[in-house]
Amino acid sequence: MHDTADARKMGGGKSFGSKPSYQRSVQTPAQSPTNPSRTQSEQAKQGQQANQGATAQPMGARSGFGGMMGGLLMGGLIGSMLFGGGAGGGGPGLLDMLLIGGGLFLLFRFLRARRMAAEGAGPQAGGVQMHERSTNGWGNLAGAAEQTSGPDLPAGFDPDEFLHGAKTMYVRLQSSWDKRDLKDIRQFTSDEVYEEIARQAEEYPASGRTELLLVAPQLIEAREMGHQIIASVMYDVMLREDGDTHSRQDRELWHFSRDRNRPEDFWLLEGIQQIER
């Protein structure tokens, strides 16, 4: 059943390509500073802050009751002293002093608990806002492009433009595969990749329908090799295939190449690698 499901998407859930290294699966590749692992660390930190807030809040509730009682006791004692209610009528006695001290202790405890609750709630609210910003839309791809730009990238390589095109390419190739439009796939693939796709089309000739719910590409690296520029993209995809009622996550590493001296040419898909789960 797993093989049948993978056959519905382009590539069939296999690792293949023009280089031997593309023909085997890989561990999760290293990611840029704006990757999902950063979001996970932020969520863990938010969870700790939320736990602190949740712990502080019940303390505030219990101490609030004690503080209220302490306030009432203090009020009664002060009134008793002012109106001659002290021990023997000559001022506060030992019992009065103990009660006053206990009331002050409860009052300070109440105020301290309220301060802890406020400090615990403040960062939690800010953390939620940060999480909403970090997961908004397509994961802030523009920010990712700014982070990855630098001297390690080939001259003239625009990460933002490339990621936009990589997302469009994934959607188009999957749509062409659903229709078994090999002619369209051919113009965007290397010889080795096209041969494998054509072989899979013969094995599974029936067309299909794949609903792409989320396509989030991330640039892993871009480098020059001879006269070629090689760019590797990790796709994190949520999709739903025909006949399925539930969506599933799919992650793959795609490798593209283009002649450095021919920027007008299409990027060609050189290989697809499965990411080990």
CATH of the domain at 184: 3.10.450
Domain enclosing residue 243, as ranges: 2-33+139-274
Last residue of a domain, one of 134, 166, 191: 134
Q: Are residues 225 and 259 in the same domain?
A: yes
For residue 4, what pLDDT is reported?
52
Q: Are residues 129 and 172 in the same domain?
A: no
- pLDDT means per 10 residues, the chain with 277 residues, are 62 92 86 41 44 45 46 53 52 68 78 66 40 34 41 87 96 96 96 97 93 96 94 96 86 95 92 91
Q: Are 215 and 233 in contact (CB under 8 A)?
A: no
Q: Are residues 224 and 270 in the same domain?
A: yes
Q: How many domains does the chain have?
A: 2
For residue 80, what pLDDT is reported?
53
DSSP strand pairing (210-225 vs 248-259)? unpaired
Q: Compute the distance between CA of residue 133 and CA of residue 138 in angstroms, rounded to an integer.
A: 11
Six-digit token string for 9: 């998407």
Nearest to 149 by CA among 222, 217, 215: 222
For residue 138, what pLDDT is reported?
27
Sheet with 210-225, edge to edge strand ranges: 16-17, 268-274, 248-259, 228-241, 210-225
Q: Are residues 130 and 191 in the same domain?
A: no
Please name the amino acid found at residue 4.
T
pTM assigned to the model: 0.57
Six-digit token string for 199: 């072989």
Last residue of a domain, one of 98, 119, 134: 134
User: How far is C-alpha 26 from the chain's CA centre?
Assistant: 21
For residue 8, what pLDDT is reported?
76
Q: Compute the distance between CA of residue 165 and CA of residue 133 in angstroms, rounded to an integer.
A: 23
Last residue of a domain, one of 105, 134, 163: 134
